[in-house]
Amino acid sequence: MVKAVVGANWGDEGKGKITDMLAEKADIIVRFQGGANAGHTIVNNYGKFALHTLPSGVFYGHTTSVIGNGVALNIPILMDEIKSITDRDVPMPKILVSERCQIVMPYHILFDQYEEERLGGKSFGSTKSGIAPFYSDKYAKIGFQVSELFDETALKEKLVRVCETKNVLLEHLYHKPKMNPDELFETMMDYREKITPYVCDVSAYLGQALKDGKTVLLEGQLGTLKDPDHGIYPMVTSSSTLAAYGAIGAGIPPYEIKQIITVCKAYSSSVGAGAFVSELFGDEADELRRRGGDGGEFGATTGRPRRVGWFDCVASKYGCRLQGTTDVAFTVLDVLGYLDEIPVCVGYEVDGEVTTDFPVTYKLEKAKPVIKKLPGWKCQIRGIRKYEELPENCRNYVEFIEEQIGYPITMVSNGPGREDIIYRESKLK
């Protein structure tokens, strides 16, 4: 049986925590898209960790962590990440990397930086991890699969060809030093040595695991609104963030995905540029950012302050629909305990008309939030384990949002730890 854990919004919804929690009862955890450009923060008995490439299941001895073919694989970062957890006494996890996974090349990272420099103020707010140049090359069919590291003659030839075109851009567009295919080949041989112990036919492995009745968790990165097709294009990421893509990025049949847990945070946050209708500014924003998440809303990869805002029912309803949500995990609810009243964005006003349907980007840029205020609960709710024990106004907040988005909230997270979770029955299920 396959379950997916994905985000409804702009990312940073708390997927890492939910995956880490669900991994206790899973056999295999798979990353299926994205790269080291975003991070998951996990707090468990080993401490606090920011993971970028490894799946959030690496902390358990019984799980296998898989990097699927859909991921942008940065080999030095993966090696550093393995070391960073084993250095802190986490037992060496079982890791498998798809032989069809493509490699983030050193020049992808450079091109990402050079392009952001060139665009100046008109940049896409890239994390400069090479992700956009990586996926561009993948689809332009000049990327490098892990399997290609094992065919030296073909690899050398292809590196020469790729350098020819890249060097034109380096010289004439960016005015930067050119690349040398021989040096790149050496780097590839170093990568090969590092990655060889993990390489595997992941699709065949997962196919057999499913036949054997194993439980597989697909862990998404970012959220619906960063999907290149269904998100806030062009301020999106370069690989699909939807659960459906999990089938492709892991190499499993789509009908195997039985449960789709969409993670929604009790307020909104976003790193990077792009329309954000319920965004807050000034003191109100500073306060929410400071109190948010676990130690403030700052990017796990970049440390950048996240933009914050009130919960957005329009974006979340859309985000849940595109994921194909079976369950909503509603996270970071404990943070809102300081507010007398909690504003919620229940509609968008676009050109004088109110809608609850998430619009295309140019209309989204014009949208103004329609706000409804709900009474706060003014207390700490961490430590509560039963839904009925939450304050009435807190339950009302959860139920109001469930009604607005139209998908069952079956998990409420009230703290960063594994045990900070409340399961609830939903009328919608």
Cβ nearer to ligand GDP, comparing 22 with 332: 332
Residue selected from 41, 63, 69, 239 as contacting ligand GDP according to rule CB under 6 A: 41
Cβ nearer to ligand GDP, comparing 41 with 410: 41
The angle subtended at Cα 42 by Cα 413 and Cα 305, nearest 5°, is 90
Shortest Cβ distance from residue 20 to ligand GDP (Å)?
9
Return the closest-CA partner of residue 39 out of 216, 218, 222: 222
Contacts of 121 (CB under 8 A, 6+ apart): none
Tally of residues, the chain: 429
Return phi, psi of residue 16, to 5°.
-60, -45
Shortest Cβ distance from residue 29 to ligand GDP (Å)?
13
Residue selected from 6, 29, 43, 409 as contacting ligand GDP according to rule CB under 6 A: 43
Which spans in 235-332 are helix H? Answer: 243-250, 282-291, 313-323
- Told to check if 414 binds ligand GDP by CB under 6 A, we report yes
- Told to check if 339 binds ligand GDP by CB under 6 A, we report no
- Told to check if 112 binds ligand GDP by CB under 6 A, we report no
Is 108 considered catalytic here?
no
> How many residues make contact with ligand GDP (CB under 6 A)?
24
Q: Which of residues 203-232 bind ligand GDP (CB under 6 A)?
A: none
**Strands (DSSP E) found in 53-103:** 64-67, 72-73, 94-98, 102-103
CA distance linking residue 307 with residue 342, whole number of Å: 18
CA distance linking residue 45 with residue 127, whole number of Å: 30
CB 32 within 8 A of CB 53: no
Q: Which of residues 11-30 bind ligand GDP (CB under 6 A)?
A: 11-17
Cα 420 off chain centre by: 21
Near ligand GDP by CB under 6 A, which window of 105-113, 124-132, 331-339, 388-396? 331-339
Q: Which of residues 271-310 bind ligand GDP (CB under 6 A)?
A: 293-294, 300
Q: Count of alpha carbons within 13 Å of 148, Cβ hemisphere only?
A: 18
Set 20, 40, 230, 420: catalytic member: 40
Shortest Cβ distance from residue 216 to ligand GDP (Å)?
19
Is 52 considered catalytic here?
no
Cβ nearer to ligand GDP, comparing 300 with 313: 300
CB 331 within 8 A of CB 264: yes
Cβ nearer to ligand GDP, comparing 41 with 74: 41
Set 12, 112, 312, 327: catalytic member: 12
Q: Which residues belong to the active site?
A: 12, 40
Summarize as ranges the residues that interact with ligand GDP (CB under 6 A). 7, 11-17, 39-41, 43, 293-294, 300, 331-332, 334-335, 413-416, 420
